[in-house]
């Protein structure tokens, strides 16, 4: 199923001859020169380039390049095949994506819908360049909202007693819809290690605190008890360790003694919406490289 709106179609038409290349490898001379020469020899023109090197002995080099080439669809396989020689030479981890192909995102949600609303509004406006083939929830609360956008909604009750059966159904749907990215928009269920391993560095969560502080449940209550002066939210990739995956984006807001727990939750929801939206957008734009348990956002 395709749910490309008018804004997305315009974007795809405008960028039909563009691609993105993400690279990480041990730092050494000649990397940029070799990639630039490769692109030139394949009739490509670099339109955007960002790089970073870790500042220590035997550092790691990171690079994001956006390039254009006429009839790029016809050159896809050749570009991928021929780049392997450079990748092997420099021991690269690399990813090459083409802008005429939209990634496909599944959104998981529970009862709180503020993050889901933000993502859907951004998607409708053409500011979140992805297809959203389905939304999955363990509650019916989001059905009306989701279906109003013309997106299929799947109600799958979930709890720890039936977690394996639930995830088997969810994984079948992920395969059926050819999902590239999973977004947990306040999906209040812990995923099993098996589920996480099926989508490494492709599950984005929003945690309603400024990690690593207040990991786990009820962070606002614990933050209020601690008397914090800043509250925040953290978007990160999901790993098998709860709330300890590579952090993509964070933000904070100032609070004081006059704010009770409900105030913190209300203010926190504002932060969660924008933090998750930015993290998802950066992933879709191939700006994030996972390095050890950190991210490089280019």
Q: In degrees, to the nearest 5, what angle opens at C-alpha 271 toward C-alphas 241 and 281?
A: 75
- Mapping DSSP onto H, E and C, the string for 90-117 reads HCCEEEEEECCCCCEEEEEECCCCHHHH
Closest CA to 289 of 101, 61, 128: 61
Residue with tokens 């994001």: 64
Residue 243 appears among annotated catalytic residues: yes
Element (H, E) at 154: strand 153-155
Taking residue 129's Cβ as centre, other Cβ atoms within 10 Å add up to 20
Measured CA to CA, the distance from residue 151 to residue 1 in angstroms comes to 10
CA quadruple 11, 13, 14, 19: dihedral sign: positive
Q: How far is CA 201 from the centre of its chain?
A: 8
Helices (H), 15-71: 31-41
Q: Which of 13, 127, 243, 283 is catalytic?
A: 243
> Contact, 280 vs 183, CB < 8 A?
yes
Question: Which uninterrupted H or E stretch holds 297?
Answer: strand 294-297
The label of the residue with tokens 């996972």 reads 290
Q: Which secondary structure element, helix H or strand E, spans residue 53, and what is its range?
A: strand 44-53
**The total number of residues written for the chain in this structure:** 298
Omega before 111 cis (within 30°)?
A: no
Q: Which residues lie closer than 8 Å to 33 by C-beta, 6 or more apart? A: none
Catalytic residues: 243
């Amino acid at each position: 199923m395709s749910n490309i709106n008018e804004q997305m179609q315009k974007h795809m038409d405008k960028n039909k001859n563009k691609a993105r290349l993400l690279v990480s490898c041990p730092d050494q001379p000649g990397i940029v020169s070799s990639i630039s020469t490769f692109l030139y020899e394949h009739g490509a023109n670099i339109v955007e380039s960002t790089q970073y090197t870790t500042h220590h002995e035997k550092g790691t080099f990171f690079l994001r390049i956006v390039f254009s080439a006429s009839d790029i669809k016809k050159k896809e396989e050749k570009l991928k095949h021929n780049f392997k020689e450079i990748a092997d030479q420099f021991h690269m981890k690399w990813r090459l994506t083409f802008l005429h192909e939209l990634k496909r995102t599944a959104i998981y949600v529970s009862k709180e819908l503020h993050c889901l609303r933000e993502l859907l509004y951004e998607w409708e406006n053409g500011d979140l360049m992805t297809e959203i083939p389905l939304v999955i929830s363990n509650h019916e609360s989001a059905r009306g909202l989701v279906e109003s956008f013309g997106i299929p909604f799947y109600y799958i009750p979930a709890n720890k007693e039936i977690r394996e059966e639930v995830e088997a159904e969810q994984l079948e749907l992920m395969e059926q819809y050819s999902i590239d990215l999973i977004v947990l928009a306040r999906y209040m269920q812990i995923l099993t290690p098996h589920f996480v391993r099926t989508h490494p560095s492709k599950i984005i969560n929003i945690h309603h605190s400024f990690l690593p502080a207040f990991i786990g449940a009820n962070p606002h209550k614990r933050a209020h008890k601690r008397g914090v002066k800043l509250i925040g939210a953290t978007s990160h990739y999901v790993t098998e360790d709860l709330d300890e995956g590579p952090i993509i984006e964070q933000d904070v807001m100032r609070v004081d003694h006059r704010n009770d727990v409900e105030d913190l939750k209300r203010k926190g929801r504002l932060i969660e919406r924008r933090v998750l939206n930015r993290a998802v957008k950066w992933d879709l734009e191939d700006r994030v490289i996972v390095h050890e348990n950190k991210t490089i956002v280019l």
